Amino acid sequence: MFKKTLHAFATAWKGLNLTFRHLFAARKAREVLDIKQENYFEKQEGVTTIQYPRQAIPIPEVARYQLDVVIDDCIVCDLCAKACPVDCIDIEAIKATEAIGKTSDGSVKRLYAAKFDIDMAKCMYCGLCTVVCPTECITMTDNYDRSFPALTDLVYQFSEMTEKEIEEKRAELARFQAEKEAAKRKP
């Protein structure tokens, strides 16, 4: 009986001790510190969270979050889609009949991006697509606080072509190929 009572008191003391320790530590909120500071993790004092979104903890420069594509700099080479391990990049290219223009790094553009969708619900943020891109137009941004009511809202569309433009470019290419074939058949 005596042993049991002693054990009950010891257990209660242990629990209360932990509660009071947390209560004492909670006097101080977590400070917003720059992650680049030395001993960042050792400097994290206080057990209460920061007042997000009024306060936000800085994120590392190399952090991987929302993908972005500067479509004007994309040569529609499809390398990013081929590198993606989960097939969440969906690209549809239409051949141009002549060079369309140049990207900011001087690469010649010869394909139209009729479709350039990234399903961020499937993305595992590996960053492989950003590594293989020859024009560095697909990048990881620092945008991480997104929420949507439906998974389908996480499909980001980067193509800027309208349905009418897509149809026109397809017809243009079909005409060009037909003319080429006809020219080949001429004696």
Q: Is 167 helix (H, G, I), strand (E, B) or coil?
A: helix
Q: Based on C-alpha coordinates, what's the Rg of the chain?
A: 28
Among 76, 94, 114, 161, contact with ligand SF4 (rule: CB under 6 A)? 76
In which residue are the tokens 């969270």 written?
49
Among 66, 88, 109, 112, contact with ligand SF4 (rule: CB under 6 A)? 88
Tokens of 135: 């024009």
- Between CA 74 and CA 101 the distance in angstroms is 11
Among 66, 79, 94, 159, contact with ligand SF4 (rule: CB under 6 A)? 79
Q: Which is nearer to ligand SF4, 47 or 132 (CB)?
A: 132
Q: Which is nearer to ligand SF4, 30 or 115 (CB)?
A: 115
Answer whether 141's CB lies under 8 Å from 66's CB: yes
Residues 24-63 interacting with ligand SF4 (rule: CB under 6 A): none
- Between CA 14 and CA 26 the distance in angstroms is 19
- Between CA 177 and CA 171 the distance in angstroms is 10
Query: How many of the chain's residues bind ligand SF4 (CB under 6 A)?
Result: 29
Binding segment for ligand SF4 (CB under 6 A), chosen from 14-22, 32-40, 73-81, 165-173, is 73-81
Binding segment for ligand SF4 (CB under 6 A), chosen from 5-13, 83-91, 146-154, 174-182, is 83-91
The answer to whether residue 126 forms part of the interface with ligand SF4 (CB under 6 A) is yes
